[in-house]
Amino acid sequence: MARPALRPLRICRNSLLSYSCTPQRSILATITATIPQNNLRQPAALRSHLPTQRLYHSQHHPDLPPHEYTNSQTTILSAALKHVPAHGFTKDALVLGARDTGFLDVSVQLLPRGEFDLILFWLASRRGLLRAAVEQNGLLATSDGVNAIPASVEEKTKTLIMKRLRMNKDIRHQWQDALALMSYPSNIPLSLSELHALSSDILHLAGDASVDASWYTKRLSVSAIYASAEVIMTRDSSPDLAATEAFVTRRVEDSKAIGDKLSGAKQCLGFMGSTAVGLGRSWGLKI
C-alpha cells in the first residue's frame, strides 16, 4: 500500500489560531511597536501628555475592589448616615434612611454588604470632604506674612490626619463596633483598600513627592498612624481630642526619624513588614 504524500504545513488562515501558526514576533519588537516613536529617547520633561496622576506607582498593581453605588443606594446611604450617631452602623440606621427618602424597608436589600456598605460609604464620603477642605477651603493654605515659613510635609500630614479624625467626633462612640465589623476576614480587603486610599490622599495633599521605595513606606506609616489613632480616639475624653492629637504628633515625629535612618532594601522591607503587622494588630487582627 502506497503511503500518503506528506504535504507542507500551511499558514493558518484562522485569526483565532494565527498566534500558534505564524512566526512569533520578538517581545521587544511587539512592546516597542505600541509606543509612539516620538516618545522614544526623549527627556521626561517633553512627555507632558503622558498621565502623571501619581508620582510613583506601579502599573502592575491590581485594581482596588469596587464599591461604587447606584443613585438609589447613594440616596439611602446618605440618609442613613444621619442616624449613625444614635443607632450606629446597623441595619436600623439603613432602614430609617430608606424611610426618610421614601423607600420601603425592604429596599435595604439593594445593599449587598448591608451594614458594611454603610461603613464604606462613610469612609469614602469623609475622604471626599477631606479633599474639599484642602482644595476648596484652603485647609493647608499658608499665611501671607513676609517671614512665613511653609509647613513641612510632616506637619501637613499631621494636620490632615487630625482633620480626618475629627470628622469621626460625633460617631466615635459607635466606631469600635465599626472597626470590629471591618476586621471580619471577608471585609478586610475593602477595609485595607479604603485605608490605603486615605493614606495616599493625605500624602498627595500634603505635597509628598517621593519617587522611590519610600513611596510605599510612607503610606504604610500613615496608615498605621491613622489606624492606631482611631483606636485612641474611641477612648479619648479630652477636649477637642487633645490626647489623640498628642499621640499623632509623637507617631509622626517617630515615623520621620525612622524614615531618615532607613537605608537599603532590606531595612525598607523589614520596616514595611513590621508596620503592616502593627497595622493589623491595631484593627484587632490576631497576628
DSSP string, 110-167: G-TTTHHHHHHHHHHHHHHHHHHHHHTT-TTPPP--TTPPPPPHHHHHHHHHHHHHHT
> Is 31 a member of any domain?
no
| 260 vs 225 pLDDT, higher one | 225
Average pLDDT of the residues of the chain? 76
Confidence band for 78, pLDDT divided at 50, 70 and 90: very high
- Which letter, b or e, does each residue of 172-187 get, where b requires 16 or more Cβ atoms within 10 Å of its Cβ? bebbeebbebbeeeee
Is the pLDDT reported for residue 6 higher than 90?
no
Closest CA to 220 of 165, 287, 275, 277: 275
| Listed range (21-25, 110-114, 126-130, 238-242) with the worst mean pLDDT | 21-25
> Is 119 a member of any domain?
yes
Confidence band for 284, pLDDT divided at 50, 70 and 90: low
Phi, psi angle pair for 38, to nearest 5°: -75, -5
- Between CA 10 and CA 282 the distance in angstroms is 64
pLDDT in tens, 274-283: 555 555 655 5
Q: What pLDDT shows up at residue 199?
A: 94
Q: Do the Cβ atoms of 205 and 156 come closer than 8 Å? A: yes
CA-to-CA separations, 130 to 111, 154, 226, in angstroms, rounded: 25, 17, 14
Q: What pLDDT shows up at residue 204?
A: 94
| 154 vs 54 pLDDT, higher one | 154
pLDDT in tens, 35-50: 444 444 444 444 444 4
- For residues 244-248, average pLDDT: 95
Is the pLDDT reported for residue 76 higher than 70?
yes
Which of 6-10, 122-126, 234-238 has maximum average pLDDT? 122-126
Q: What pLDDT shows up at residue 4?
A: 53
> Is 79 a member of any domain?
no
| 227 vs 16 pLDDT, higher one | 227
Q: Do the Cβ atoms of 196 and 137 come closer than 8 Å? A: no
Q: Do the Cβ atoms of 77 and 118 come closer than 8 Å? A: yes
Q: What pLDDT shows up at residue 209?
A: 87
Is the pLDDT reported for residue 124 higher than 90?
yes
- For residues 190-205, average pLDDT: 93
> Is 102 a member of any domain?
no
Confidence band for 255, pLDDT divided at 50, 70 and 90: confident
Confidence band for 142, pLDDT divided at 50, 70 and 90: confident
Q: What pLDDT shows up at residue 1?
A: 53
> Is 105 a member of any domain?
no
> Is 12 a member of any domain?
no
For residue 249, give its domain range.
Answer: 114-136+153-282
- For residues 142-161, average pLDDT: 80
Q: What pLDDT shows up at residue 195?
A: 93
> Is 57 a member of any domain?
no
Q: What pLDDT shows up at residue 68?
A: 78
Is the pLDDT reported for residue 52 higher than 90?
no
| 141 vs 32 pLDDT, higher one | 141
Q: How many domains are there within the chain? A: 1
> Is 176 a member of any domain?
yes
